[in-house]
Copies of this chain bind each other. A is one copy, B any other.
């Protein structure tokens, strides 16, 4: 395979990998409604602050969210709204898949 083509697949995979975690999906969906500081997200998620911070750093690195420091707090915003369409398509597909499974069973 072409080197440039490979690089493009790698770049896309990096972004998708950043989405590929339940906690980070929750973050994305919450940020799609409104911006949040790390502390709010930490409350919602119920994990250690450092864990949440690392998830956010990963999302930021992938270009999915952006951050802004205001006072002591850091607010995160969703930067890539098109991921939402995908997530809703995913939801639909999951429901369909479940229906199929059910049909197989009886």
- Could you tell me which A residues sit within 8 Å of B by CB distance? 1, 6, 8-13, 15-17, 19-23, 25-26, 44-46, 63, 80, 82-83, 85-87, 89-94, 97
Contact = CB atoms under 8 A, between A and B. Distances in A.
A17 B10 CA distance: 14
Nearest to A46: B1
A50 B61 CA distance: 32
Contacts of A89: 80, 82-83, 85-86
Given A85-B86, A86-B86, A89-B82, A20 B17 contact: yes
A94 B46 CA distance: 31
Chain A interface, DSSP helix/strand/loop, else mixed? helix
Contact of A16 (B20, B63, B80): B20
B93 A80 contact: yes
A36 to B, nearest CB: 15
